[in-house]
Amino acid sequence: MTRRWFSLLLVLFTYFSSATPAISAPHSPTATAVFAGGCFWCMEKPFDEVPGVLDTTSGYTGGTVENPNYYQVSAGGTGHVESVQVTYDPTQVSYETLLDVFWHNVDPVDNKGQFCDKGSQYRSAIFYGNDQERETAIASKSSLEKSQKIEQSIATDILPTSTFYPAEDYHQNYYQTHPVRYRVYRFGCGRDQRLAEVWGDEAGH
């Protein structure tokens, strides 16, 4: 075969190879859910461990100030709540399962905050994004009340979602980036101790 024919075949092969559209794998659907359970450091880990959860982000929601920072929110003057945004694959994990994880990682009867962190910026809350989430959250709370596992009134709010502002970078994945400080904080705040009192063997961690 002459070089001329070889070159022609090479050109044709290159053309048809590039003209064939690549077949990409279908993308899995994603959804987000927002929960508040006191210090957001402690709410990322339990959700990260759930199969089907793709990402968690610590942040602030429910307030009136745009782009709040940690010092503003922790001072309690912005109306925001420390919260965590959970990005998940609804084909792998249901919203009901996420609610179950949420309940077992909060003290649902504390109306003044969570554990050692007091103030409205640390209260427990479920932020729904649509009517279905609202109805599911209400049903979940009602089911918990009827189960009589919790003897006192449940103080956890169910609220419409608002703008979620991611917290500063140093707050993200804190349990991974500062594991010793994270464990010291949880113990010192009495979080695990109180969760064990409320939920027993079902307590989150």
| Residues assigned a catalytic role | 39
Max Cα distance, the chain (Å): 90
Single-letter residue type at 33 = A
Q: Is 34 helix (H, G, I), strand (E, B) or coil?
A: strand
Name the packing angle between helices 179-189 and 191-199 (round to 10°): 60
Strands (E) in the chain, as ranges, are 31-37, 53-61, 81-88, 113-114, 117-118, 124-128, 157-160, 165-166
Quote the CA–CA distance of 8 and 184 in Å, as a whole number.
Answer: 70
